[in-house]
Amino acid sequence: MFFAFDVTLAGAAAFLLAVSGVITSFIALRKAKQEGDVACHDQLKSSRAEAEMYAQELHKIRLEHPELMPPSDEGRAIFWLIVSIGMFALATAITMWIIGLPSGSPGAPKRISPSRQDTTTTIVVVPGTGTNGVTGDSSGTGAKGSPTSVGSLGVTSTTGPQGPCPLGYSVTVVELKVKTKTVLAAICVAK
């Protein structure tokens, strides 16, 4: 398959320059690697010789002047290990003291003696909702009364504080509907 390109003199020159740049950089990298390896080995060899010379001089000084050498470090590492463990334990104790130590597992719940248990139910009527009157017996029919008008509703105020329930009881609000009237009652119910 033959591809036809519209080649100009500038395009051909750019292509040749790009190819020559790639070839030149490849040759430069190979040369730098080879020369770098040789230079690295030479420097390593001279460094080893210098280190051996200084090691011999140090050995000679240690033999001729032992008073210049520091005392042995034996036991210091163990001492500092014990000190660091002690400091960690102290920091843990202080942190627990600041946060507050746990007081242990909670005990069994208190038992209420049978004489102290309250079996009565308390009904609290919410003010402003009204209550139903007493219903009479159905033995006879009385005289028909005159119709009356319904009075206006009272002013709604804030609800008072919740009354106390005996120990072991919780307050439950119940809505009671009787014909057209609704009454909210707070009832103490055993938990």
Same domain, 62 and 13: yes
Same domain, 59 and 42: yes
Number of folded domains that form the chain: 3
Residue written as tokens 């049978």?
Answer: 114
Domain that holds residue 185: 117-130+165-191
Could you tell me if 184 and 173 are in contact, meaning their C-beta atoms sit under 8 angstroms apart? yes
- DSSP helix/strand/coil, 110: coil
Same domain, 121 and 191: yes
Q: Which residues, including other chains, have CB under 8 Å from residue 136's CB and lie 6 or more apart?
A: none
Same domain, 59 and 27: yes
Does any domain span residue 154? no
Q: Which residues, including other chains, have CB under 8 Å from residue 82's CB and lie 6 or more apart?
A: none
Q: What is the pLDDT of residue 89?
A: 95
Instruction: Name which of 99, 113, 122 is nearest 185 in CA terms.
Output: 122
Does any domain span residue 150? no
Same domain, 53 and 16: yes
* Span 167-186, average pLDDT: 78
Does any domain span residue 103? no
Same domain, 22 and 64: yes
Does any domain span residue 157? no
Does any domain span residue 159? no
C-alpha to C-alpha distance for 142 and 150, rounded to whole angstroms:
22
Same domain, 29 and 82: no
Query: Taken in order 55, 58, 63, 68, is the CA torsion positive or negative?
Result: negative
Same domain, 55 and 88: no
Cα Rg of the chain (Å, integer): 51
Instruction: Name which of 122, 114, 106, 135 is nearest 187 in CA terms.
Output: 122
Same domain, 86 and 124: no
Q: What is the largest CA-CA distance in the chain?
A: 138
Same domain, 189 and 172: yes
Does any domain span residue 172? yes
Q: Which residues, including other chains, have CB under 8 Å from residue 172's CB and lie 6 or more apart?
A: 186, 187, 188, 189
Could you tell me if 165 and 187 are in contact, meaning their C-beta atoms sit under 8 angstroms apart? no
Does any domain span residue 141? no
Q: What is the pLDDT of residue 166?
A: 72
Same domain, 76 and 66: no
pLDDT digits (tens, 9 = 90+) for 122-167: 566 555 555 555 555 666 666 676 667 666 776 777 766 656 677 7
pLDDT digits (tens, 9 = 90+) for 13-66: 888 899 999 999 999 998 888 888 888 888 999 999 999 999 999 889 888 887
Q: What is the pLDDT of residue 84?
A: 95
- DSSP helix/strand/coil, 125: strand
Same domain, 88 and 123: no
Decide if pLDDT at 67 tops 70: yes
Does any domain span residue 143? no
